[in-house]
Amino acid sequence: MKSTIAFLMTALVAGSVFASDAAPKAAKPDLAKGEASFGAVCAACHAADGNSGTPANPKLAQQHPEYLIKQLQEFKSGKRANAIMSGFASQLSDDDMRNIAYWLSSKTAKPGFAKDKDTVALGERIYRGGIADRQVPACASCHSPNGAGMPSQYPRLSGQHADYTTTQMLAFREGTRKNGAQMNLVAAKMNDREIKAVSDYIAGLR
C-alpha cells in the first residue's frame, strides 16, 4: 500500500514538473535592456526616445508593444519587406524585440499637427465616417476616435508623420506591403488625395 502511494506521489510530482516545462511563462520584459538595444540599433533613425523627427521614419514612442513585436518579427521573417528593417531585425532575438517594444510603449509620444488646411476636413470625414459609397470603413472604428488604437489589435496612429502614413497606405494599396490584409482592402478603394488627406489629419490627432 505504501509503495503504491509513493509511486502515485512520484508520478504526480513528475507530471507537475513536465507540465510546467511544457508551458514556460514568458520572461518579464527588461526595460533597461530594451533601452540599451534600442539605443544601439534603432535610435539613429527613430530618435533616442522613439519620437522620430524624420517624416519618412515612424514615431514609435507609446506604440502598443504587441504591434511592435509583430512588425519586428515580420521584418525578420520577410513577411513585411523592407531591406533596412529586415537587416536590423535579423540581429534581434525574441527577447530583444519584447524588451525594445515594451520600453518604447513606456515612452510618451510627442504630438504632431496637420499641415494641409485645404484637405483636413476631407481627412476628418474619412477618419471618422469612412467613404460610404465605396464601403471604406471609418479609421476610427479600429484605431479609435483619438488615434490611440486598440492594444493587441490595432496600432496607435495619433501624431504619426503624415509622410510615413501616406507611404504605408500606398504600399498597402499597391500590394507591396503584405502583412495587413484588412488594410490592403481598405487602401485599394482610396485615391491619392484621400490617402494624403487622412494621413495629414492623423498627424494632428491627439
SS3 of the chain: the string is CHHHHHHHHHHHHHHHHHHHHHCCCCCCCCHHHHHHHHHHHCHHHHCCCCCCCCCCCCCCCCCCHHHHHHHHHHHHHCCCCCHHHHHHHCCCCHHHHHHHHHHHHCCCCCCCCCCCCCCHHHHHHHHHHCEHHHCECCCHHHHCCCCCCECCCECCCCCCCHHHHHHHHHHHHHCCCCCCHHHHHHHCCCCHHHHHHHHHHHHCCC
* pLDDT at residue 25 in the model: 63
pLDDT digits (tens, 9 = 90+) for 73-128: 999 999 999 999 999 999 999 999 999 999 999 999 999 999 999 999 999 999 99
* pLDDT at residue 27 in the model: 77
Protein fold of 31-105: Cytochrome Bc1 Complex; Chain D, domain 2 (1.10.760)
200 neighbors 115 (Cβ within 8 angstroms): yes
What mean pLDDT do residues 170-193 have? 97
pLDDT digits (tens, 9 = 90+) for 15-63: 444 444 454 566 799 999 999 999 999 999 999 999 999 999 999 999 9
From-to residues of CATH 1.10.760.10 in the chain:
31-105, 120-203
pTM of the full predicted structure?
0.86
* pLDDT at residue 152 in the model: 87
Which stretch of DSSP H or E encloses residue 183?
helix 181-187
pLDDT digits (tens, 9 = 90+) for 115-166: 999 999 999 999 999 999 999 999 999 999 999 999 989 999 999 999 999 9
CATH class of 120-203: mainly alpha
